[in-house]
Amino acid sequence: MGAVPAPFSRPLPGLEELRPPAVPPPAQALGEDTLLAMYRAMVLVRTLDTKMVVLQRQGRISFYGPITGQEAATLGLAYALRPEDWIFPALREAAVALVRGLDLRRMVAQCFGNVLDETRGRQMPCHYVHKVGHYYAMSSSIGSQLPHAVGCAYALQVRGEPGVSVACLGDGAVSEGDFHAAMNFAGLWRAPCVFFCQNNQWAISVPYEKQSATATIAEKAQAYGFEGRRCDGNDILAVYETVREALEKAREGGGPTLVEALTYRVLGHTTSDDPSRYRDEAETARWKERDPIARFGVQLRARGLLDDAREAEIRRWARETVERAIAEVEHAPPPPLESLIEDITAMPQPRLERQLAELRRALERTGHDPLGAAGHR
């Protein structure tokens, strides 16, 4: 079996300060340190997005799915969680893993798919997993994680273990059968589960109004016997408090809740997408005026927690942290060829070993490296 890449010798400065409190208090009781940590995390994630999109355009990575414009929804969820909670992400919850301890360099390495990537190039880029942080492996199969999340919640319930399972989804997932199956069993079992929907209004090129006859996603919960709540997904404190209350309700045996965070995807679905081909970008411009980072910055300035000097320091730290992470991992070699057949079965299979040997001989004859000198996908 292949070894997990060794941890980096030194932590990146400032990331540990982003960790949420073990017991999240009501929004009005959040301390200054936590409020600033939330803001720093938002700026860091936006900075990472901007840089990774540039890397993709330069051909240094192959693919990236940004969350730009949805930082409040993602991080409002992240800070409402307790360490014992489980997260089953959709496509735009990577920041949850980051603030729960996933090393930023591991995230960057996963996009390069090199030897420092814990999944060793096997996953889709920016589809992370963080086992110790209870962050389940991301999947591009829309909605497939939702029954898993409810199963996890049921297991916690049966075993009497602490924790709530969070089933993350986008608006496009409500068109999938897995969404309805998961909602049905969550309601039937009164499972300690929170469905967290980032309604960014576009399932790639299909707007929400062409997917569903209901005015909101939150109201769909009524059909399954539990509560649905809607919040402003561009207000991090509104998301935080709505999710925190839903989590505490589930924790106390009150059953599931469907939370709909209304937000907007200001960039493409991924770097493979051109949204100008299917939507009016004047709408996008209006949503950019509701930028969640700018909005939270105004709130912090009103409280005297943020000024121009601190703002500049935070943005400089975010830029230097992202650049350092990229510099430390970009030129790592590709995963060893042996990793192609490792972790597949408990013991190496003779047929796979023969195929690996044949591949090695073919590479030696041609001098061809299918993984690329830098380990790119």
Residues 155 and 303 in one domain: yes
Q: Sheet of 257-262: strands edge to edge?
A: 86-88, 165-170, 193-199, 257-262, 227-232
Q: Which residues are catalytic?
A: 265, 269, 278
307-317 pLDDT tens trace: 999 999 999 99
The total domain count for the chain is 2
**Is 215 in the same domain as 348?**
no
Residues 344 and 228 in one domain: no
Neighbours of 37 (CB within 10 A): 21
Instruction: Say if residue 215 is in the same domain as residue 351.
Output: no
> Does 7 map to a domain?
no
Residue 294 belongs to some domain of the structure: yes
Based on the fold, state whether residues 47 and 163 are members of the same structural domain: yes
One domain for residues 244 and 346: no
40-58 residue pLDDT tens: 999 999 999 999 999 999 9
Point out which residues pair with 359 in neighbouring strands.
none
Note down the domain range covering 351.
338-366
CATH number at residue 169: 3.40.50.970
311 and 360 both lie in a single domain: no
Whole-model pTM: value is: 0.93
Q: Does one domain contain both 41 and 76?
A: yes
In a domain, 21, yes or no: no
Residues 84 and 200 occupy one common structural domain: yes
In a domain, 376, yes or no: no
**Quick check: is 62 in a domain?**
yes
Domain annotation covers residue 270: yes
Q: Does 47 fall in a domain?
A: yes
- pLDDT values of the chain reduced to their tens digit, one per residue, 377 residues: 456 677 788 999 999 999 999 999 999 999 999 999 999 999 999 999 999 999 999 999 999 999 999 999 999 999 999 999 999 999 999 999 999 999 999 999 999 999 999 888 888 999 999 999 999 999 889 999 999 999 999 999 999 999 999 999 999 999 999 999 999 999 999 999 999 999 999 999 999 999 999 999 999 999 999 999 999 999 999 999 999 999 999 999 999 999 999 999 999 999 999 999 999 999 999 999 999 999 999 999 999 999 999 999 999 999 999 999 999 999 999 998 888 888 778 888 999 999 999 999 999 898 876 555 444 44
Give the whole-angstrom CA distance, residue 66 versus residue 76: 17
> Is 157 in the same domain as 98?
yes
**DSSP per residue over 33-68, as a string?**
HHHHHHHHHHHHHHHHHHHHHHHHHTTSSS-----T
Virtual torsion, Cα 148, 263, 92, 61, nearest 10 deg: 150
In terms of DSSP H, where are the helices of the chain? 32-57, 71-80, 94-99, 104-112, 145-159, 177-189, 236-251, 281-288, 292-302, 308-329, 350-366
